[in-house]
Amino acid sequence: MTSETLAADSVALETLKSGVDLTLKQLSAVFEKGSFTPREKQIILLAASVENNCNYCAAAHSQIAKTLLRTPAEVIAAVQNNTPVPEAKLNALVNLVKELVRERGYAKEKTIQKFLAAGYKKEQVMELLLGIALKTISNYLDHISPTPLDHAFAGESK
């Protein structure tokens, strides 16, 4: 490999990293302005991270949901352990998020109807996709280049 090739690869990598950072910031900004509550947003990000097997992100979102948003530990544990969430509305949310991630954007009509029957709006299905896209990019980046688990998140790690 020549020094010119290495330099070009370095520039390409920095350009790609800048683009990904910008994309994540833009998706995050749009997602944060959405209609879900702060707790629901964290649950969306947590459920996507669990389904994508991203230990770091799942631990981080669990900790944020518990400490900053006072989400009950049993809700977090249910999302992490793939068991029914004790709050029916959040359970419908988690089920739809996980199905969309697992099925690569496809969801059964029954799952969507349960989401709507729980009190969510049809437009919020599209909003979920923003959170899933945001987390999936972040989760995949962590798969490729794992982030060491922070001491603060260690208690939430699987």
pLDDT digits (tens, 9 = 90+) for 129-151: 999 999 999 898 888 888 877 66
Query: Do the Cβ atoms of 94 and 85 come closer than 8 Å?
Result: yes
Give the pLDDT band (50/70/90) at residue 152: low
97, 47 contact by CB (below 8 A): yes
Residue 14's pLDDT is 60
- How far is 62 from 84, CA to CA, in rounded Å? 16
- Give the CATH H-level superfamily of domain 34-156: AhpD-like (1.20.1290.10)
Domain boundaries, the chain: 34-156
Q: What is the pLDDT of residues 46-88, one digit of tens each?
A: 999 999 999 999 999 999 999 999 999 999 999 999 999 999 9
